[in-house]
Amino acid sequence: MADINPLLPVSSSDGSSNLTGQATCRRPIKVVVSIFFGLLTVGLFAALLIRNNGPVDYVDVHENERGSLASTAFEKAENLKPVSRGPAAGVSEKSNWAFGGDLPDYPWNNSMLSWQRTAFHFQPEKNWMNDPNGPLFYKGWYHFFYQYNPNAPVWGDIVWGHAVSKDLIHWLHLPLAMVADQWYDKNGVWTGSATILHDGKIVMLYTGSTTEGVQVQNLAYPADQNDPLLVHWVKYPRNPVLVPPPGIGPNDFRDPTTAWLTSEGKWRITIGSKINKTGIALVYDTKDFINYEMLDGLLHAVPGTGMWECVDFFPVSETENNGLETSINGHGIKHVVKASLDDDRHDYYAIGTYNDRNGTWIPDRPNIDVGIGLRYDYGIYYAAKTFYDQNKKRRVLWGWIGESDSEAADVKKGWASVQSIPRTILFDKKTGTHLLQWPVEEIDSLRLKSKEFNQVRIQAGSVVPLDIDSATQLDIIAEFKIDSDALDKATGSSDASFDCVTSGGAAERGALGPFGLLVLADERLSEQTPVYFYMTKGSDGNLKTFFCNDQSRSSKASDVDKHIYGSLVPVLRGENLSIRILVDHSIIESFGQGGRTVITSRVYPTKAIHGAAKVFLFNNATELNVTASLKTWQMNSAFIQPYPNL
């Protein structure tokens, strides 16, 4: 029989479970509200800043005006609006993309749909998946739990899937870890996090949606802590351990973090919420993961950002190139707060200073605070979660990559969503403002045949084909050197106001860009996905560099998203421009400048698939010649199958 008290010593409590909750407050909720209004005043300036990368209209591509990338004009795609899934249940929108409009489904055939399934990204055998949950390393195995619908390739009936790996690349599916079988999680076993205690035991906190649709926090733990596979899980019999506090809506209280130790020896967690339109992170202390004390203040709050989901909080070193265990604090340590914004479904982060005494965090730069500044990823990437990998002393980031085709296509192919390649995450010591994300080193084990292309001169307005045998599973590392004379001669222009998202994409020519690679392109360039840099020079002579991904001509299909993604990327003096691209069928993960800016996209070509997929270098600038050197590897498929005999 599983031990029902596997945790730290339990303080005196009758253990009764009801919706009055188990948390105590140091002061009434009015104190929190007072602090909230104080933060509202302080954050007024931040709330007035312009939010990056909002939804934009599709872009027409015109013939004969676009230099090297001119091709058959695409009909402007009206936007598609699938059935809404998620908000009515109290979580963010889970439909593939909800931009409005009404389009007929594209006539996908089985060859096209089967090609879309990835070869080395994690995904279940079938059906729907979303948020990563409770990742950890335990007794020689990496464990990955995830939001899963075992019944259909659309969101709903959410339980916890579970898989294990020795290397974060090859995975074995295990039986479901937790299902929706109690009153406190009957409407869904939602997102949660794992904590490894002093004695090596594991506890898992997760959000459940009750029979009445109230979001509550629940405790679970392995039935056998000696089982390295952690196959069986037990829910604490007196769940829930936390309910929404006074002043917090029943649908605005979710996604507990991994716990960290305070200087007083207590465990501390934070939970996402909102007050009106201000996103907040509530803070709780506990000694036993059963009884909780809510702190007077908030970890952080940002006006105008809406509901904070999947909050993450972790330390980064200002001096070392390794990850840090979640409880580490002190000299030379910064802390990251990340929130997934329910309103726009993007993951934002900021770097700042944590006060252990009162449980608050302050951003280093308020103008790039959580929700109004930097993002983990400027493409399709959400609900990310990190864990500390004590096996290799690194912090590893997981993120959910949703679909951007039609729901009808997902139903036909029988699956929806994948996870990103796990990424290491470090503080960027050079900029002091960014994090650096990079695919875990284990992905290199899938590299097969390589080819190098050195000092390839790309004239302004030209496209250069690359002789690569197969281009649907690739790892590409490229570096670009710029003609310095052209940079000196370039004059400031209206290009200084350039933005990837609102531009005309890679077909829009400027003096200093765009230039980069075309991936998943057919031979005639009727389908192509450019990953590229675009440089601008202001009237003050200062250069800005943007890192972009253009989906506007990625597919002939009419029922897929064709947005243009990207953002500014810092390029420091003496640095060449660099890109790493992982192509895995319908996923493209792109890392600019060593991972300062990252873009993940889902593309659904109809022609540039199987052996017809090609790679090109391109330079669509008008005044700039570029020299590129790159190395490409064919990528093997990962082994992702059910665990034998389970």
- CA angle at 289 for the pair 345 and 252, rounded to the nearest 5°: 30
Q: Where is 411: in which H helix or E strand?
A: helix 407-413
Contact of 549 with 618, CB cutoff 8 Å: no
Contact of 564 with 553, CB cutoff 8 Å: no
Contact of 419 with 403, CB cutoff 8 Å: no
Taking the alpha carbons at both ends of the chain, their separation in whole angstroms is 20
CA 569 – CA 233 distance, rounded (Å): 44
Strands (E), 483-576: 515-521, 529-537, 543-550, 564-568
What are the DSSP calls for 202-237, one per residue? Answer: EEEEEEEE-TT--EEEEEEEES-TT-TT---EEE-T
Residue 146, amino acid: Y
Task: Tell me the two tokens of residue 592.
Answer: 């600019």
Residue 38's CB: how many other CB atoms inside 10 A? 12
Contact of 62 with 75, CB cutoff 8 Å: no
Strand 278-286 versus strand 260-261 pairing type = unpaired
| Total residue length of the chain | 646
Question: How many Cα atoms within 13 Å fall on the side-chain side of residue 507?
Answer: 25
Residue 5's CB: how many other CB atoms inside 10 A? 11
Q: To which residue do tokens 């599973």 refer?
A: 473
Give how far the C-alpha of residue 56 lies from the chain's centroid of Cα atoms, to the nearest Å: 20
Q: Which residue in 244, 126, 233, 125 sits closest to 189, CA to CA?
A: 233
Give yes or no: 444 in active site. Answer: no
Q: Which residue in 581, 91, 135, 109 sits closest to 340, CA to CA?
A: 91
Q: Which residue in 288, 170, 179 sits closest to 232, CA to CA?
A: 179
CA 301 – CA 339 distance, rounded (Å): 11
Integer Rg of the chain from CA = 24
Which residue in 105, 131, 252, 488 is the catalytic one?
131
Contact of 305 with 39, CB cutoff 8 Å: no
CA 556 – CA 606 distance, rounded (Å): 6
Burial (CB count <10 Å: 0-12, 13-18, 19+), residue 416? buried
Catalytic residues: 131
